[in-house]
Structure 1
Amino acid sequence: MQMQLSAIKPRLTFSQLWNMSFGFFGIQFGFALQNSNSSRIFSTLGASPDDLPWFWLAPPVTGLLIQPIIGYLSDNTWHHKWGRRRPFFFGGAILATLAMFMMPNSTAIWMAVFALWIMDASINVAMEPFRAFVGDKLDPAQQTSGFAMQTFFIGCGSVIASLLPSIFEHFGVSNSVIDGNIPPTVRYSFYVGGLAFISAVAWTVFSSTELPPADLEAFRAERAKRKGVGHAFSEIFSSLVKMPLVMRQLAAVQFFSWASLFIMWVNTTNAVAANVFGTTDAKSDAFQAAGTWVSIMFAVYSGVSALAAFILPVIARKTNRKVLHMICLFIGGASLASIMFITQKEMLLLPMVGVGIAWASILTVPFAILAGSVPPEKMGFYMGAFNFTVVVPQIVMVPVLPFVLSHFLGGRVVATLAFSGACMVIGGLCTLLVKDTVVVSA
């Protein structure tokens, strides 16, 4: 028997969309600080550029393991007060906040890697049900707008989080390595980010409601039959085998898109430090200045994505979603490749505009296409399983990236950003394989 949510899905107001998505504002504090500062932290603690991809293995592996499981568990959860997804929002937020306080206080590489594992696992617990939340609450005609609202908050949270180190430096906080410790600007940024994370998620948890199963008694009876770890893994495996065709088609697009993003997150700090700031010494003030500038660059692409999030649904209605996504990825790929030829720090902000356009589409369009093609009663699981297409390319890049850097790019870290751009363009071409049959209405 298949249990479904209530078939009645009233059109939500702007304020309701705002409240149900606001938690992503806090979640993105965690991801933005992680993405813009992890390589800086590892390098400050003594990591070499060849080692960085291996230390970044934590995020994709935790996502690979956790998101499908959390999706499955949330599909089979119902509490009269907390609902289906919100217990996972809140629990993950508490753990992620604690990990964010821990990471910038690491005094050795192993400590920073451990903290990153804990932080990323907790963020995944909080984040995964948010994607299913849109599928649960919104009619297909409103789902693109729902994911776009999430993208808006992702962009806003990323802008502020990415700028935090430079804001603290502006107010006189030291941005230098003192006695081998992480600069105070980075530590304080993680503290503020942790508080923002828990506060924003709590807003969504306490301001939003959830639709109950259409037949609550039948849902509870079915859930009772599913008890046991063996049954859970059997059902997860069965659902993976039967994944929708659209999900398989999107996998190629996602693979190259997220491989590109992984390369960018791992190597931008070292690339900018060497190509623009003229240093490879991670303990130098010039390298730390490069790290702060990269945070500003990431703030720019996040800000652009927040603005683009409102434009994408309009363009999608006038064209179609897969053509829109292809164009956005082409723009992002060309922008990333151009960084290799820039030697003035201010000029580095221009390609971030193109990256922001691609980022907005990556966070919106594939999820909107997928949401209309999966069974509602398995929305959480398939949104979690779709994360395979996000994390597998990052795992693949861990051994591939150092090999390409040393054997094809002559050890020039900045050249990896051209490689990143090429991957994103290939992802754009792969959108031609996707069959998106859902009509996007107003």
Structure 2
Amino acid sequence: MTMSNTGNSDALGALKPSLPLLSILNMAVGFFGLQIGFALQNANGSRIFSSLGAEPDTLALFWLAGPVTGLIIQPIVGYFSDRTWTRFGRRRPYFLLGALLASFALIFMPNSPALWIAASSLWILDSALNISMEPFRAFVGDNLNTRQRTLGYAIQGFFIGAGGYVGSKLPEWATTVGASNTANGLAVPDSVKVAFLIGAGLLFLSVLWTIFTTNEYSSEELEIFEASETSALALARQADRFVPPARSFGIAAFGFGIVSALTFSLIAVGVAERQLAVFAVMVGILALLLGYNSLRLKSDRAPGMVGSLMDDLATMPVLMKRLALVQFCSWFAFFTLWVYLQPAVTSFHFGTSDPSAKAYGDGSLAVNNIFAVYSLVAWGFSLLIPLITRAIGLKLTYALALIVGGLSFIAIWKLEPSLFWVSAIGIGIVWACVLTLPYAILADALPAERMGTYMGIFNYFIVIPQLIVGTIMGTVLTKLLGGQSILTLVVGGSVMIFGAALLIFVPYEEVD
């Protein structure tokens, strides 16, 4: 089913109409369930792996599932969802597929009999969440006009905050109804198993709500809106793209190939840690893709999916390129938090790394409460973002949030557990803004026909910092930070503050 607000294709020049608040709410309900899935894995993934025998300095490797699957899946899903026009819609078929797979993975992950099976379940879970998440981002850009996009992404942030709170509190709520919060030997506590089971059901139902209560515009309607919609970046959006020559892609392929080969060489002689092999493989794959595109351009072949993605990557709008650096910094920080908050709090503040100890269980609940409070704050603060941005602008709001968030990361090092809520408030503020403002800024610079593709490519700068954290932070932790997990949060907070400074160079003009 498609929307039909334009009457017919003769209404050339019609502007995309504003949608009622209820319609925007229905579009975002699915994010409530998706974030329950993310929250459960973020707050409990390290606990599950530790309970099944993983060592602290290897945890980041297990968390590579998210960035690797995001790097591969989101651009591909974006590419195909841009070209998917069915009776069921353009983006909604991907919502359903992702929800089915994610629900299955949530049920299976905490019930895994071995560490490698739990890690495999995380890969399935992250793949599934990525299949749904990228089309949800493009969904807002498709359906809302320029004036409503900040509101649309803010409402997504509202449901993300709500889902994050529920997902983070589910293990604690499970303990209140009798589920055990500890387990003997290499086993996952019942409280975690019950939480994941309930989360799977909530995820699936919330995505179904969005599927059955929303409509999508047809390709013809979007073309009409694209031709007439105005914004401060309209000229940049409508300009013809200049694809770099084959030689440029070849040079880039050679450079990345050298980096990959050099990294493998350093691993082979024992200078670099083995986990850097994952980074080397990903860089090598990028070199091969760039090399392929160079050969394609030389032979003047049709681009296909790989060629189109490489061309789009090379022709990103200037705003997108610079905003991507800010995105890199904020997600570097958050991935560090998700991986290391559990061992940081339990070892530094509760004095144990033994998953079977009562103090470890108490520390784990403290970690869940940090996630819950910051998700709750993000839930409420998301509703204030449209008001704040109208008063001081998108960029300034974003910069201030990154500074507050970075300082809140660092503060966990010095605060007593009873005061963790102070840091959680600041983290919630920046989390709401990270989920809203980059996409509100970016959507104005993207053409409708490639909205999904570019949103998928923008996701590179979410997953690349996660890959870097996953491959080098273990080495940084043992070699530079003396094995003190708490100091990784200081590193992450500092990088986030640096991201605020980079916003100065993002050429965005507010739309009146």
**Which letter does structure 2 place at the counterpart of 1:53?**
A
Report matched runs for 1:412-427 at 5 Å.
412-427=484-499
**8 Å contact kept, 1:145–1:313:** yes
Q: Does the residue aligned with 1:51 lie in a helix, a strand or coil?
A: helix
**Which letter does structure 2 place at the counterpart of 1:264?**
L
Aligned residues: 425
Matching residue of 2:338 = 265
Per-residue CA distance 1:378-409 (angstroms, 9 max, x = gap)? 00111111100100001011232122212222
Deviation at 1:288, TM superposition (A): 2.2
For 1:239 and 1:412, the matched residues in 2 are separated by 41
For 1:143 and 1:217, the matched residues in 2 are separated by 18
Moved more, 18-27 or 316-325: 316-325
Deviation at 1:325, TM superposition (A): 0.5
Matching residue of 1:287 = 360
Q: Does the residue aligned with 2:183 lie in a helix, a strand or coil?
A: coil
**8 Å contact kept, 1:372–1:438:** no
**Which letter does structure 2 place at the counterpart of 1:402?**
G
Deviation at 1:152, TM superposition (A): 0.1
Per-residue CA distance 1:240-259 (angstroms, 9 max, x = gap)? 11111111001110111111
- Structure 2: 5+ residue stretches without partners: 7-13, 225-300
Matching residue of 1:59 = 66
Whose Rg is larger? Answer: 2
- Is residue 382 of structure 1 aligned with residue 454 of structure 2? yes
Moved more, 6-15 or 193-202: 6-15
Per-residue CA distance 1:92-126 (angstroms, 9 max, x = gap)? 10011001111011122111110000000001001
Per-residue CA distance 1:415-437 (angstroms, 9 max, x = gap)? 11111111111111111111112
Matching residue of 1:404 = 476
- Is residue 145 of structure 1 aligned with residue 151 of structure 2? yes
Deviation at 1:282, TM superposition (A): 2.0
**How many percent identity over aligned positions?**
43
Structure 1 stretches of 4+ with a deviation exceeding 3 A read 5-8, 215-218
Moved more, 327-336 or 168-177: 168-177
Matching residue of 1:394 = 466
Deviation at 1:277, TM superposition (A): 1.4
Deviation at 1:216, TM superposition (A): 9.7
- Is residue 193 of structure 1 aligned with residue 185 of structure 2? no
Report matched runs for 1:363-374 at 5 Å.
363-374=435-446
For 1:420 and 1:65, the matched residues in 2 are separated by 25
Task: Evaluate the alpha carbon distance shift between residue 406 and residue 207 of structure 1 in structure 2; reply closer, same or farther with a 3 A threshold.
Answer: same
Q: CA RMSD in A?
A: 1.8
Compute the TM-score of the two structures, normalised by the length of structure 1: 0.93
- Is residue 321 of structure 1 aligned with residue 327 of structure 2? no
- Structure 1: 5+ residue stretches without partners: 219-227
For 1:426 and 1:188, the matched residues in 2 are separated by 40
Task: Evaluate the alpha carbon distance shift between residue 431 and residue 52 of structure 1 in structure 2; reply closer, same or farther with a 3 A threshold.
Answer: same
**Which letter does structure 1 place at the counterpart of 2:395?**
K
Per-residue CA distance 1:129-164 (angstroms, 9 max, x = gap)? 000000000001100000000000000001011000
**Which letter does structure 1 place at the counterpart of 2:378?**
S
Report matched runs for 1:17-166 at 5 Å.
17-80=24-87, 82-166=88-172
Matching residue of 1:222 = none
Matching residue of 2:423 = 351
Per-residue CA distance 1:288-329 (angstroms, 9 max, x = gap)? 221122111101001101111111111111111111111000
Per-residue CA distance 1:208-246 (angstroms, 9 max, x = gap)? 00000117999xxxxxxxxx9961222121111111111
**8 Å contact kept, 2:31–2:207:** yes
Q: Does the residue aligned with 1:341 lie in a helix, a strand or coil?
A: coil
